[in-house]
Amino acid sequence: MSSTLLENEVGMSFQTNENQQMIADMIRKFGKEHILPKMMEWDESQEFPIEVFKKLGDLGLMGVLVPTEYGGSGFSYTEYVTAITELGSICGSIALSMAAHNSLCTGHILQFGNEEQKKKYLPKLATAEWIGAWGLTEANTGSDAMRMQCVAKQDGDHWVLNGTKNWITHGISGNVAVVLARTGELLDSHGITAFIVERTTPGFRGGKKENKLGMRASETAELIFENCRIHKSQVLGNVGDGFVQAMKVLDGGRISIAALSLGIAKGALNASIKYAKERQQFGQPIANFQGIAFKLADMATEFEAAELLTFKAADLKNKHQKMTKEGAFAKYYASEVAVRCSTEAVQIFGGYGYTKDFPVEKFYRDSKLCTIGEGTSEIQKLVIARELLK
């Protein structure tokens, strides 16, 4: 695959500070050296390239939001969006795993952990010494999380966890997982508790690895708990607060997926612009034809609009203001834009777009996950409508 197709044709309108520009430049350089040469090999084999994440940890990108006193970079959501977008414009799989590690597992501990928990786990996660996982979804409870069947029962100073979590990023390779389990009655929003569970805990193991359409180098697998005993010191926050915590974590997680969507859209658009200038038909570049030029115009306009929504949500998050609706706006719109841009990119490339010799077929496959993960587009519409009608 030609790396020249991924040169930065379309910049980010909001790269307004030195940190953002530094991160963008660093990721482009890193991608050319450490991701592009093996990206399709990982995609074909579904290999989770853990060594890449160790290198990203060395660069501070696995603890973007973690304060420096815990070994992180101490950046804001503005820099975080830039990092995921730039990484996503190269490889959606790597960006997805980086985002899940940062916003879900690490983010949950950062937001709700006590000081002892933060000091114990955040330095390892921020440097990628440990890879993090986050377990909410089950086989029969995706959006309907309050019907979860994974149960934790108290036994003295311990909780005994039984059940299975599905569709978990880093379900096999993660060293530590934040797991949501039912500790009260079914459908009780205060009957779910969050636990920090280390991989070496007896009774905890990874299960089936999913064979996916896209995002194939980002590991997705089951978490299985069989009489897994967890000390009470591993409870995150208060018993019964897990569901409320998870919803707050997902607010930030939606910014992550919006940024990932931006990256995929950007990569597809950049590749399309480059190709449209180079590809000759009827004696001229195909960019000269209105049918192609208008596609590029629509893609660029939608990208800019999605970027505005995403950075607005990030700005509210930085200010610690409520951003449930704005996060849903960004996640919903940007994810759908990623699908539309990558679809148009394949069309612009024609037959070549359907081959693995060019980058757009991978953007096309990777993009669809963005409309599903961390709340489907339909769930985002429900969230938006609920906020509008309050």
As given in the structure block, the two tokens for residue 53 are 């994440």
Q: Under a CB-based contact definition with an 8 Å cutoff, are residues 186 and 252 in contact? A: no
Q: Of 86, 81, 99, which is closest to residue 35 (Cα–Cα)? A: 86
CA dihedral sign of residues 43, 47, 22, 333: positive
**Catalytic pick among 219, 374, 378, 387:** 374
3-state SS assignment for residue 364: helix
Closest residue by Cα to residue 268 from 308, 307, 290, 296 = 296
Determine whether 374 is an active site residue. yes
Nearest Cα neighbor of 262 from 339, 169, 354 is 339
Nearest Cα to 259, choosing from 3, 2, 20?
20
The DSSP element (H or E) to which 167 belongs, if any, is strand 158-169
Q: Which two tokens stand for residue 95?
A: 């960006």
Find, among 271, 231, 258, the residue nearest to 338 by Cα: 258
> What are the beta bridge partners of residue 228?
161
207 vs 210: CA distance, rounded Å: 9
Q: Which residues contact 226 (CB under 8 A, 6 or more apart)?
A: 162, 203, 205
Three-class SS of residue 193? strand
3-state SS assignment for residue 1: coil
Calculate Rg over the CA atoms of the chain: 21
CA neighbours closer than 13 Å in the CB half-sphere of residue 127 = 9
Report residue 238: phi and psi, to 5°: -95, 150
What is the DSSP secondary structure assignment for residue 279, as one 8-state letter? -
Cross-strand partners of 152: 161
Q: Annotated active-site positions, please?
A: 374
